[in-house]
Chain A
């Protein structure tokens, strides 16, 4: 089993790195395009039409690729009212059920996708004139990534999956807020208690 899985995992880790890089790229372009839009409107007095459309489409892709990145870390918000009150053995089983339900949905999305892509490939966006299927492709791509992630989560128990979501992992901004190097006394010089 493991012999088949390992090369797949290696391959997948390349895909992961690529998609994460794409997300960073899309975010950077989004910030640049929207900043330029605001600059152009207020400073150059020349409102742009293409930039708003582009930024909306970038956002669509960021959301569905980001949904995969968040799922990888078990960051999608759930309500763990049941799972926190059952024994760990059952919690694991419940996690597998949750994974299976989410996976079934994602596969349904992939099954529906060809029809909507077919319809939207004939439509073009208002300003940029790109085929609308390019925008509707984001959700199926995200769904495919998330499906693989869930299956790999079953094969490799170290990976997070939606079934292992706990609210405790949610305040995800915390580890990223390293606040420089605060002065331990903070310029505050008074003892609190008499």
Chain B
């Protein structure tokens, strides 16, 4: 039964059957083969979507879509500019800091790339920033979107493993800020070598002025993170509040959101959510059969017979994630790999939240590697840069992200300090 499950899945995946259907069809085939009641297929897939935690996914997607239309991007960019625009390679630094602000608003990295990239890439190119650096910085910094809360991949990880999504969110806070800092340092080094210009530091008045203009957008991550931190809201409730907040700002404050836009935004959100949730539904069915066949236990035993050093095993897993990430989407990878890998970490006493942050960080590298890196792809589209040209420039950033992931393996406190102190 397990052989049917794995072989059918891999064959369908290679044939380019969508991941959700590959998982569901492989499960159906093994259910038929194993003589389990077929009703299981509909039952498990429906039950998986019938979940209050999962409601966070459409709401965070909707909040991100609404916020992007609420026209706050420019104000956020101006605020970032007043803070870091004076550093060498100013606009590239602004790009990274704006991505960090956006990371606190949206839960998906690609949304970050398109929101920040479409506003910042054109002025960067006009001001003489090289195409490859502009593209690489935009793509690399948008990976912060899935690390700083809210984060849809963290919700998926939480649903697949049963780990608290609130704790996962909080655990991403310090690593996310570190990613931003490392990317800024790399950018500074490149900007120095390329002799980009600097300008005098801003006056406090400029910062205060741009802060006042962007405060409404900056409050949103504050509400989401603060609410979860203080234990006031669950992630789903925080997502609902984010939607209501974005609606209020877009409709009544900036007024760039028109009521007649709402149906198309709702429809688009439903489609994006359905793609993710169909995968989760099918993975739940697939995972049920995996567990029934005790495959994770066999895998855990096999690995434990090689080594029982947690750090070594985590390094091995990061290797698997990085390779898998170059072939497939972040969410799909979590859905496919985590059900098998998670029980192994449990046996070795690795903290589940720590493992969650490592998983999301390592897989997020796949967002910026060719050929399927969605963030790299979108950034190249906007800057009209061939992917190969941008990829060379990506290399220092990819190495930076990888180094941070490995640092996180050896210093779990970077992830665990905030959630352990607060929850």
Contacts and interface: CB of A to CB of B under 8 A. Distances in A.
B357 interface: no
A179 B73 contact: yes
Interface in A147-194: 162-163, 165, 167-168, 170-174, 176-188, 190-194
A34 B240 contact: yes
B374 A82 contact: no
A144 interface: no
B73 to A, nearest CB: 5
A189 to B, nearest CB: 8
B183 interface: no
Interface in A63-121: 63-67, 69-70, 73, 75-84, 94, 97-98, 101-102, 104-105, 108-109, 112-113, 115-116, 119
Interface string B355-378: 000000000000000011010011
A49 interface: no
Interface in B1-48: 12-22, 24-25, 28, 38-39, 41-43, 45-46
Interface in B40-78: 41-43, 45-46, 49-52, 54-55, 58-59, 62, 64-65, 68-69, 71, 73-74, 77-78
A151 B197 CA distance: 59
B42 A56 contact: no
A177 to B, nearest CB: 5
B16 A180 contact: no
Given A52-B52, A98-B16, A176-B265, A136 B46 contact: yes
B78 A186 contact: yes
B314 to A, nearest CB: 25
B14 A82 contact: yes
Contact of A23 (B111, B270, B331): B270
Interface in B261-320: 262-275, 277-279, 281
A28 to B, nearest CB: 6
Contacts, number: 297
A37 B71 CA distance: 28
A165 B268 CA distance: 18
B170 interface: no
B267 to A, nearest CB: 6
B128 A77 contact: no
Nearest to A26: B270
Nearest to B17: A98
B240 A38 contact: yes
A171 B38 CA distance: 35
Interface magnitude class on chain A: 35 or more
Contact of B55 (A28, A34, A135, A168): A34
A28 B22 CA distance: 31
Given A55-B55, A62-B58, A194 B197 contact: yes
A192 B43 contact: no
Judged by DSSP, the binding face of B is helix
Contacts of B196: 192-194
Contacts of B59: 31, 34
A188 B270 contact: no
B402 interface: no
A67 B62 contact: no
Interface stretch (B118-126, B171-179, B392-400, B405-413): B118-126
A69 B74 contact: no
A116 to B, nearest CB: 4
Contacts of A31: 59, 62, 240, 243
B244 interface: yes
Nearest to B374: A171
Contact of A105 (B25, B118, B237): B25
Given A94-B15, A136-B43, A176-B264, A59 B54 contact: yes
22 contacts: A20-B267, A31-B62, A34-B240, A37-B240, A59-B51, A78-B19, A79-B328, A82-B15, A105-B28, A108-B38, A165-B16, A170-B374, A171-B114, A171-B374, A173-B65, A177-B118, A179-B74, A180-B71, A181-B71, A187-B210, A190-B127, A193-B196
Interface of A: 20, 23-24, 26-28, 30-31, 34-35, 37-38, 41-42, 52, 55-57, 59-60, 62-67, 69-70, 73, 75-84, 94, 97-98, 101-102, 104-105, 108-109, 112-113, 115-116, 119, 135-136, 138-140, 162-163, 165, 167-168, 170-174, 176-188, 190-194
